[in-house]
């Protein structure tokens, strides 16, 4: 026959040892910085006390009839057990609140109280918990929860059922929180929490129906061990080299903040790079990882270390929850000022450069994609400041909007080709220039100097240039331009496209497919473009001209090209920039340039 007392004693000892092991491991691994770490440690301590009370109770149970001291020890152990164990479920609820990002620090724990259903639930559950704790505290007088009868045997009373009911409510509430945040939890955390609930519920049910079989504490200890391994352990969330959280952790944590509508300020430190001018002799001799580690260590002194993330190539993000706007600006300025001073590496002063941004969530960025875009998009020199914030970041929002417009532009028909006529000096029509314009249904008119660089960055410029050429061919095939004396239409070449291998053959295929005479199409390239690679351009232009296309050089006089090399490209027409013509009478450069052009 099984002796349940001996089995239960063994289960209590096992539960105590598991809790002790979890606690020691947590301390040795120094996992006690974050609020959720502190809550976890507190839960383990409570559970260890529960297991200890169980051990004491079983030992005292054997001598309760012959020793008043043993009996009173039994009473005290039961009292402490109920007092501490009833706190586990509500504390676990708060633990889950921190794990899923519903709470991020003690100072902003109640930020979500702006939402009335959450506020009402927390208040009602808090009142219920207070009532239950008072019933336990005053049970020696009221005898509503449990009693010891005349035979000194433990007897459950109706009030004990309230503990089970309330624990079930807290566990259900925490389970709902997990389910609502299921998509922003990592796989390991999902599985760990699922197993945790299974073990805890199983232990509670066993304890409820078999009161003499004390399995509950051990099951909970095992559940919390799983939490320790897969939730408290954050090895998969950390960048080992830099000793800060990685981009995956950043995405999950910020997604949780956005989902739970918790305001936060981000300080993004980006474009961290070696200052070549200040470190000319050291360039290439310093390990960049070591420098970034130095930066990460410094950022950890400005905020809590667990609020620092690496989110891209030489990019850090720092989260600030409970600081005023002025304090955030001051911290950002201090970080920017730090980069004006050298960083000591192996007793050598190394100078770095960096850009600093303050991004408010959710007002300035409402998704992870928005934040990463701000952290990675190019910053025009005219927008750079020591610390960029507020309206300083409007250009990023505009840039992102234009980028989205360009991406959908061809599909939605946002691009249009207009034709600007050119004339002989006798005012008769000579030709026309194809001008690409863009009208987005959301942004309205977008000018070429804004959308062309973005199209090149996105790799869409080839498709856009093909669109322009196809439109020109379609118009020429109608015969309308020729009826009005327009002999040819000029098409601008993209810098990136004309440098690609096979570009000339690609152009020829498009025009031949349309059946248009190649003599009716001319290509333009700016002087500054031509200066980049004369040899390659000479080959491209020679091939285009050999099949009948004409070739123009545009904006002549604005670049710094070698004139002899420029004219070796055998252009049919040189278009002199208006600044040279208008300034010829006043500019010595213009007066010298015009008479000496080797035009034939």
**What is the tens place of the pLDDT at every residue in 461-518?**
889 999 999 999 999 999 898 888 888 899 988 766 777 888 889 999 999 999 999 8
The secondary element (H helix, E strand) that includes residue 28 is helix 4-28
CATH number of 4-233: 1.20.1070.10
- What does the pLDDT read at residue 600? 42
Task: Determine the Cα angle at 537 with ends 449 and 464, to 5°.
Answer: 40
Domains 4-233 and 402-596 share a fold: no
**What is the pLDDT at residue 2?**
41
- Predicted pLDDT at 484: 84
- Closest of 448, 414, 411 to residue 433, by C-alpha: 448
pLDDT, residue 391, reads: 82
Task: Identify whether 518 is preceded by a cis peptide bond (ω within 30 of 0).
Answer: no
Query: Could you please report the per-residue DSSP string of 59-76?
Result: HHHTTTTT-HHHHHHHHH
pLDDT digits (tens, 9 = 90+) for 168-181: 899 999 999 899 88
User: H or E segment at 81?
Assistant: helix 68-85
Which pLDDT does position 38 carry in this prediction? Answer: 93
Q: CB within 8 A of 262, min separation 6: which ones?
A: 101, 102, 104, 108, 111, 112, 321
Query: Angle CA(584)–CA(585)–CA(588) in degrees, nearest 5?
Result: 65
Residue ranges covered by each domain of the chain: 4-233, 237-388, 402-596
The beta strand positions in 362-414, using DSSP E, are 387-388
Q: Across-strand partners of 239?
A: 244
How do 573-576 and 521-526 pair as beta strands?
A: unpaired
Token pair in block for residue 443? 């942004």
381 exposure class (CB count in 10 Å sphere: 0-12, 13-18, 19+): exposed
pLDDT beneath 50, residues of the chain: 1-4, 111-116, 280, 530-531, 560, 599-600
pLDDT score of 582: 59
Question: Could you tell me the CA-to-CA distances from 89 to 46, 86, 93, 94, 125 in Å, in that order?
Answer: 11, 7, 6, 9, 12
Evaluate whether 142 touches 135 at the Cβ level (below 8 Å): yes
Tokens coding 335: 């970080």
CATH code, 237-388: 3.30.70.270
Rounded-to-integer distance, Cα 225 and Cα 312, Å: 33
Q: What are phi and psi of 334, to 5 degrees?
A: -65, -40
pLDDT in tens, 201-239: 888 888 777 766 678 888 999 999 999 999 998 888 999
Q: Using CA atoms, how far apart are residues 354 and 282, in angstroms rounded to an integer?
A: 18
Q: What is the CATH number of domain 402-596?
A: 3.20.20.450
Predicted model pTM:
0.73
Q: What is the pLDDT of residue 326?
A: 93
Answer for the pair 310, 242: CB distance below 8 angstroms, yes or no.
Answer: yes
């Amino acid at each position: 026959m099984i002796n349940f007392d001996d089995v239960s004693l063994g289960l209590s000892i096992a539960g105590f040892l598991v809790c002790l092991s979890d606690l020691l491991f947590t301390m040795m691994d120094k996992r006690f910085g974050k609020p959720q770490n502190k809550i976890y440690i507190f839960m383990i301590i409570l559970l260890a006390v529960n297991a200890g009370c169980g051990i004491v109770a079983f030992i005292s149970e054997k001598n309760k009839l012959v020793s008043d001291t043993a009996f009173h020890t039994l009473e005290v152990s039961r009292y402490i057990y109920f007092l501490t164990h009833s706190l586990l479920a509500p504390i676990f609820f708060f633990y889950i609140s921190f794990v899923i990002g519903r709470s991020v620090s003690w100072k902003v724990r109640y930020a979500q109280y702006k939402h009335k259903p959450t506020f009402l639930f927390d208040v009602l559950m808090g009142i219920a918990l207070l009532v239950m704790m008072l019933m336990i505290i005053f049970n020696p007088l009221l005898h509503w929860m449990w009693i010891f009868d005349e035979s000194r045997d433990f007897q459950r009373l109706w009030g004990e059922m309230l503990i089970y009911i309330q624990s079930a409510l807290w566990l259900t509430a925490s389970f709902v929180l997990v389910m609502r945040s299921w998509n922003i939890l990592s796989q390991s955390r999902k599985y760990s929490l699922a197993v945790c609930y299974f073990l805890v519920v199983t232990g509670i049910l066993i304890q409820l129906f078999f009161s003499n079989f004390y399995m509950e504490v051990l099951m909970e200890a095992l559940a919390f061990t799983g939490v320790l391994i897969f939730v408290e352990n954050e090895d998969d969330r950390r960048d080992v080299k830099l000793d800060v959280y990685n981009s995956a952790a950043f995405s999950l944590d910020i997604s949780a903040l956005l989902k739970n509508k918790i305001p936060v300020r981000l300080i993004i430190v980006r474009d961290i790079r070696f200052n070549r001018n200040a470190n000319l002799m050291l360039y290439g001799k310093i390990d960049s990882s070591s420098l970034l580690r130095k930066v990460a260590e410094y950022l950890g002194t400005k905020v809590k270390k667990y609020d620092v993330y690496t989110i891209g190539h030489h990019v850090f993000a720092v989260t600030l929850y409970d600081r005023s706007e002025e304090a955030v600006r001051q911290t950002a300025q201090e970080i920017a000022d730090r980069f004006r001073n050298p960083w000591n590496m192996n007793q050598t002063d190394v100078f770095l450069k960096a850009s600093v941004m303050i991004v408010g969530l959710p007002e300035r960025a409402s998704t992870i994609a928005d934040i990463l875009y701000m952290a990675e998009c190019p910053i025009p020199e005219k927008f750079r400041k020591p610390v960029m914030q507020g309206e300083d970041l409007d250009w990023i929002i505009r840039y992102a909007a234009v980028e989205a417009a360009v991406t959908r532009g061809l599909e939605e028909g946002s691009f249009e080709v207009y034709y600007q006529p050119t004339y002989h000096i006798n005012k008769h029509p000579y030709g026309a220039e194809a001008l690409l314009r863009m009208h987005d249904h959301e942004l309205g008119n977008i000018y070429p100097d804004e959308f062309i660089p973005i199209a090149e960055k996105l790799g869409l410029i080839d498709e856009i240039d093909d669109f322009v050429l196809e439109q020109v061919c379609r118009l020429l095939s109608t015969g309308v331009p020729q009826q009005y004396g327009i002999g040819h239409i000029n098409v601008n070449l993209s810098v990136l496209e004309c440098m690609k291998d096979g570009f000339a053959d690609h152009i020829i295929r498009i025009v031949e497919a349309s059946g248009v005479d190649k003599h009716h199409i001319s290509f333009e390239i700016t002087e500054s473009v031509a200066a980049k690679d004369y040899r390659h351009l000479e080959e491209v232009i020679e091939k285009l001209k050999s099949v009948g296309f004409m070739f123009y050089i545009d904006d002549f006089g604005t670049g710094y090209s070698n004139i002899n090399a420029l004219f070796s490209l055998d252009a049919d027409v040189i278009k002199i920039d208006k600044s040279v013509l208008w300034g010829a009478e006043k500019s010595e450069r213009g007066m010298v340039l015009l008479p000496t052009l080797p035009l034939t």
